[in-house]
Structure 1
Amino acid sequence: MKTLLKIIGIILLLVIVYAVFAMLAFSKDYHYEKSVVINAPKEKVWQHMGSLKAYNTWDPFSKEIKNITITYSGEGDKMGDSYHWKGDDSEGEQSITEIVPNEKMLTKLHFIKPFEGDAKSSLILTPDGNGTKVTWMIDNELNTMMKIMKPMMDNNMDKMFGQGLGDLKKLAENK
């Protein structure tokens, strides 16, 4: 029994040490990005990502939300256009802050539920040989509790961005 209590005590101490380390060492500025090269010209790739409506056909985050309802404001392909989503455990909005056809779309995300917060997202197209490199980025500010969860966030972002870019690649390369 004493051995079990020692093990539990050591685990608890390690969790506390990690939490303090994360709060002090991790930056409040969070940046994540992932890229994929798509074997298609940027004009063809843009057809699948140059509007919020096209984006939502491959966006892995909206696919995860149960009972999602999406309401668009505008056509989704001009500065200021936006959409609002609401699902069982998630609500928020995304609006275009800058758009350059066949090059980039920058958006602002406002999360309402489950946590209030803001982030900026970018989709950038650059030529890569005969194909197009798509780079997807997100930037936001982490509160103290989110700093503790940063490694889990990185892991989730890697999975979700990989899935989304993979789906975009399939759509754009489909002849």
Structure 2
Amino acid sequence: MKTLLKIIGIIILLIAVYAIIAMLAFSKDYHFEKSVVIKAPKEKVWSHVGSLKEYNVWDPFSKADKNIVITYSGDGDKIGDSYHWKGDKNVGEGEQAIAEIVPNEKMVTKLHFIQPFEGNAKSTFVLTPEGNGTKVTWMIDNELNTMMKIMKPMMDNNMDKMFGQGLDGLKQISEK
């Protein structure tokens, strides 16, 4: 029994040490990006990236709740166009609006998360020619609060999974 208590105590101590190191060492500025090369011209890829309506066809975050409600404002392909989503606990609630757009090259959106946690982020898509295809780089930037700093490795893992699923979906649609 004493051995078990020692092990539990060591685990708790390690978790506490990690939390303190994470709070002090990890930057409040969070950046994550993932890329894929798609065998299609950038104009074809852009038709699926440069519109919020088309983005929601392959976006894994929208697919996480089959009953998600998405309400669009505008056509979804101009600065200021946006959409509001409301879903279950996995998806939450929020808004995404186009902040910058360079046709066939770049789209920047502002994300406002309402639930389960209030927050803001910036999402960016960059398309660049690569060989006979198009390299798509998907990025997200936001500011981490103290608790999010502790969860950064889990966030990185989740973002890698979700961005991977999304880029795979974009690749499949674009290469048809």
> TM-score, length-normalised on structure 2?
0.97
Corresponding residue number in structure 1 for 2:98: 96
The residue type equivalent to 2:19 in the other structure is A
Instruction: Name the residue aligned to 2:165.
Output: 163
2:15 is equivalent to residue 15 of structure 1? yes
Tell me the amino acid that sits aligned with residue 13 of structure 2.
L
Flag structure 1 segments of 5+ consecutive residues without an equivalent: none
CA RMSD of superposed structures (Å): 0.7
1:24 maps to which residue? 24
* 1:58 corresponding residue in structure 2: 58
Identity %: 81
Which residue is equivalent to 2:139? Answer: 137
CA shift, 1:88, in A, is 2.0
- 1:66–1:88 contact (8 Å) kept in structure 2: no
Would you say how many aligned residue pairs link Structure 1 and Structure 2?
174
- The answer to whether the Cα contact below 8 Å between 1:38 and 1:131 also exists between their aligned partners in 2 is yes
CA distance in 1, matches of 2:41, 2:174: 9
CA contact (8 A) 1:78 1:96 kept: yes
Moved over 6 A (4+): none
Q: CA deviation at 1:66?
A: 5.2
In 1, Cα distance between the equivalents of 2:169 and 2:40?
14
- Contact 1:39–1:173 (8 Å) recurs in 2: yes
Aligned match of 2:124:
122
